[in-house]
Amino acid sequence: MHAWPASEVPALPGKGRDLKIHDTATGGPVTLDPGPVARIYVCGITPYDATHIGHAATYNAFDLVQRVWLDTKRQVHYVQNVTDVDDPLLERAARDNVDWVSLAEQETTLFREDMTALRMLPPRHYIGAVEAIPGIVPLVERLRDSGAAYELDGDVYFSVEADPHFGGVANLDVAAMRLLSAERGGDPDRPGKKNPLDPMLWMAAREGEPSWDGGSLGQGRPGWHIECVAIALDHLGMGFDVQGGGSDLAFPHHEMGASHAQALTGEFPMAKAYVHAGMVALDGQKMSKSKGNLVFVSTLRREGVDPAAIRLALLSHHYRADWEWTDQVLQDALARLERWRAAVSRPDGPSAEALVDEIREALANDLDAPAALLAVDRWAALQEETGGTDEGAPGVVSRAVDALMGVAL
Ligand code: 5CA
Ligand code: ZN
């Protein structure tokens, strides 16, 4: 699948700091040392109702990870998937009486446009679940042949007991895992499973649903977690630096993915850091496609809202916080954008050196974007109150804000 065009990342004087980030698996901060090529896998959308502000907030967090790494003069190898076949997509297509393929294509196109407008850097590999099927089938066969998976009425399940580290990503107790499994695509109550938490790896073809040739697995379609494992292992290999997504992916998705990978390779965990963004709510409830309480990036754009203001609204919350989208959040971002644009529109201003340093420090410290915004606010206020004589400083600030936070002034 093609991704979307990359916006330019301006060069900055000096070099950024190494990223320290909160890892869900260990429950604390880790300072990553990725080597010359940092590797990151970010779970992509299920394309049936994209892109709402919650999605955008999560992708903003991982865009910052990349920008911090690029600023340390590393290359970034970034992979993202599109879950272009799964129950929720098929259910939505059936509900609306539309073709599931067209629905997925249409929503993926919209997502690309939103990501471009928000200046999110594109993945190097943007891979759909459907195109990954030929790589998924042999992994499921291997898991089955090694005893880590079993068959139930033609479907193939992963046995969580095959992984001695199972539970080591989200660190939840069994009761909590069971509850979340039922809420998030699992089927803990299906009779005949070895363990209620066991997730499906391969679903035998169902009447009226799309299916593919699964070799010895028979006709069917892949489970959700193995999709991301197959794509990540194919394009990044084991032990990559970050696996990212919203906090609702920690369990079961990232937990199961780490277990599948452990059973396949003997290594745990698949990523050096499991990084999760908080949930964005609207009217007191998590913004979600199933609830339908959504604010879409494309709607705001259509209403004429500058994407840079949307980006600033996302940046004004720490990525790990759960927060609520309100009109005030957007109004504040619009006002900030206007102040910053006025401040960088003059040829000279207060020195930019300390500011660039502050932005770098804030972002390297668990992506503290709100602190970075406050630092720019202080510089802009100084510019407004007293001006400055540093020739070219506004240009440096404008390049730094773009390079490190994706905001075009
Ligand atoms: N296709 C899978 C991942 S492989 C999936 O979860 N798709 S999704 O479209 O439901 O979500 C895409 C990303 O947006 C996920 O990382 C998810 O955690 C995140 N996300 C969904 N809703 C919100 C929300 N309200 N706030 C923040 N992030 C969200
Ligand atoms: Zn995923």
DSSP sequence for 199-211 = PEEEEE--TTS--
Q: Are 251 and 182 contacting, i.e. CB atoms less than 8 angstroms apart?
A: no
pLDDT score of 284: 86
Q: Are 221 and 210 contacting, i.e. CB atoms less than 8 angstroms apart?
A: yes
Tell how far CA 73 is from the center of its chain.
22
Q: Is 102 helix (H, G, I), strand (E, B) or coil?
A: helix
Q: Is 328 helix (H, G, I), strand (E, B) or coil?
A: helix
pLDDT-derived band at 400 (thresholds 50, 70, 90) equals very high
pLDDT score of 49: 87
Strands lying side by side in the sheet with 271-277: 125-128, 75-82, 37-42, 240-246, 271-277
Sign of CA dihedral 365, 366, 368, 369: positive
Tell me the ligand closest to 86's alpha carbon.
Answer: 1
The CATH code that applies to domain 306-405 is: 1.20.120.640
**At CA 336, angle to CA 332 and CA 342, rounded to 5?**
150
Fold of 20-286: Rossmann fold (3.40.50)
Q: Where are the alpha helices (H) located in 118-253, listed in sequence order?
A: 129-145, 174-183, 224-235
Percentage of the chain modeled with pLDDT above 70: 100
Taking every pair of C-alpha atoms in the chain, what is the biggest distance, in angstroms?
75
Q: Give the residues surrounding ligand 1 with Cβ less than 6 Å away.
A: 43-46, 54-55, 57-58, 81, 83, 228, 245-246, 248-249, 277, 279-280, 286-288
Helix axes 100-117, 53-71, angle to 10 degrees: 50
pLDDT(286) > 90: no
pLDDT tens track for 58-109: 999 999 999 999 999 999 999 999 999 999 999 999 999 999 999 999 999 9
pLDDT(292) > 80: no
pLDDT score of 288: 78
- One-letter amino acid at 168 equals G
pTM of the prediction? 0.97
- Mean of the pLDDT values across residues 213-228? 98
Q: Where are the alpha helices (H) located in 236-306, listed in sequence order?
A: 255-265, 297-302
Cis peptide bond N-terminal to 252, omega within 30: yes
- Mean of the pLDDT values across residues 16-26? 97
Mean pLDDT rounded to a whole number for the chain: 97
Probe target for ligand 1 pocket from 62, 120, 228, 248, with the most ligand atoms within 8 Å of CB: 248
340/382 Cα distance (integer angstroms):
11
pLDDT(394) > 80: yes
108/214 Cα distance (integer angstroms):
25
**272: phi then psi, degrees, rounded to nearest 5:** -70, -30
Q: Are 207 and 198 contacting, i.e. CB atoms less than 8 angstroms apart?
A: no
pLDDT-derived band at 54 (thresholds 50, 70, 90) equals very high
pLDDT tens track for 351-372: 999 999 999 999 999 999 999 9
pLDDT score of 335: 98
pLDDT(217) > 90: yes
Probe target for ligand 1 pocket from 24, 41, 51, 55, with the most ligand atoms within 8 Å of CB: 55
CA neighbor of 335 nearest in space, from 356, 319, 313, 358:
313
pLDDT(50) > 90: no
Where are the domains positioned within the chain? 20-286, 306-405
**At CA 404, angle to CA 401 and CA 405, rounded to 5?**
70
Q: How many angstroms does the Cα of residue 157 sit away from the middle of ligand 2?
A: 18
